[in-house]
Amino acid sequence: MKDQNLNYIKAKRRVEREKGFYTHLMIYLVVNTVLTVLKVWGDFNSWDSFVDEFLTINVLSSWTIWGVFLILHFLSFKFGAKWEERKIEEYMNKEISNDSH
């Protein structure tokens, strides 16, 4: 029974971390798209002027800086979770062994 509870807790934590990452990704895309549209809207006279404005540091900086944090969040969610799961299991096993004494 306790193993089943532990597996449920681990699975629930994984789902919460994955959901958090995808929420972060969606916010990143929506906010940066809106900011980009607002920044380049005035230079929408021709395709060339649009591309020139789109490729400025003013526009790309929010995508890049926030993108770095999004990548770090992904790495933390994908690879840091294993460490966290091991620690949770370690503490749960300690708690189980303390309860059985």
Structural domains of the chain, count:
1
pTM of the model: 0.71
Task: Note down the domain range covering 9.
Answer: 2-100
Q: Distance between CA 41 and CA 32 in Å, rounded?
A: 14
Residue type, 86: R
User: Which residues 6+ apart lie within 8 Å of 57 measured at CB?
Assistant: none
For every residue of 18-40, DSSP letters joined together read HHHHHHHHHHHHHHHHHHHHHHH
The proportion of the chain whose per-residue pLDDT surpasses 70, expressed as a percent, equals 85
Residue type, 32: N
Per-residue confidence band for 69, with pLDDT thresholds at 50, 70 and 90: very high
